[in-house]
Amino acid sequence: MKDRVSESGVIEDRELAEYYSLMAKRHMGIPCQRVLSRIKAKGITKGRALDVGTGPGIFPIFLSKTLPEIQFKAIDLSPVMVDIARNNAIEAGIGDRIEFQVGSAYSLPCEDHSLDLLLCINTLHHLDQPVTFFNEVARTLKPGGSFVIVDFHRDASFIWIGLFSLFWWVFFGKHPKARNGFIDSVRSSYTLDECRFFLSQSNLTHWKLYTRTLEVWMESQHGQ
């Protein structure tokens, strides 16, 4: 198993961020549906939700349109991404429904025990201190609140990594700076055992972890 190669991943380059946003809008339909199905399985239809590392905001925009009674806030460390996410929400006709703000996974801009749902999609690999983030998740969720954290895992099989590298090249490979994005993300992701260890070291209690293709899904165990 290769050692992790940390990737900060905060895109400040507007042109690259716009490219990522365009590609995400085109190709993230199925991943959005998969997250939606997990939220529905937990029976969450209303309340307060936070999306951490929202990038161009594709997930909260899709979810807010489908589950309008959930009040979404979405944060990202990159001001450029937050600006693009806001514009994407306006373009989708729900500019007034989601609160986008610059913010860090290590210091969530939410009161203690105020959230019904926390999402963090494809962002954990950017975090060098996952336990600090998990403790923030534990602090901000209501008792019985739910989280869904999805990322790649570094010990996925070569077959999955090869297959997804190919997809990435087809869908995102036209921009020279985006070309290596996928493989860099996998290299900076955690192994399944590392994820389990970080969760067990954190204040999160009722969690489950499972894999799908080259992804690791970490969820609260309340509901399904």
The tally of CA atoms less than 13 A away on the side-chain side of residue 48 is 12
Nearest residue by C-beta to ligand SAM?
A: 55
Give me the least distance between CB of 125 and ligand SAM, in Å please.
Answer: 8
Residues with Cβ < 8 Å from 131, sequence gap 6 or more? 198, 201, 202
Rounded Cα distance between 224 and 219, Å, is: 9
| From 23, 63, 89, 121, residue interacting with ligand SAM (rule: CB under 6 A) | 121
Helix (H) or strand (E) holding 70: strand 70-76
Of 10 and 206, which has the nearer Cβ to ligand SAM?
10
Of 33 and 205, which has the nearer Cβ to ligand SAM?
33
Helix (H) or strand (E) holding 210: strand 207-212
| From 61, 88, 118, 123, residue interacting with ligand SAM (rule: CB under 6 A) | 123
Site for ligand SAM in 31-90 (CB under 6 A): 52-55, 58-59, 75-78, 81
For the chain, the C-alpha Rg in angstroms (whole number) is 16
Query: Closest Cα to residue 204, out of 157, 151, 140, 161?
Result: 140
Total binding residues toward ligand SAM, as defined by CB under 6 A: 23
Counting other chains too, the contacts that 2-6 makes at CB distance below 8 Å and 24 or more residues apart are: 2/154, 2/187, 4/154, 4/187, 4/188, 4/189, 4/190, 4/194, 5/184, 5/187, 5/188, 6/128, 6/188
Of 66 and 205, which has the nearer Cβ to ligand SAM?
66
| From 23, 24, 44, 61, residue interacting with ligand SAM (rule: CB under 6 A) | 24
The reply on whether position 105 binds ligand SAM by CB under 6 A is yes
Give me the least distance between CB of 127 and ligand SAM, in Å please.
Answer: 6
| From 44, 98, 100, 122, residue interacting with ligand SAM (rule: CB under 6 A) | 122
Interface with ligand SAM (CB under 6 A) = 9-11, 24, 52-55, 58-59, 75-78, 81, 104-106, 121-123, 126-127
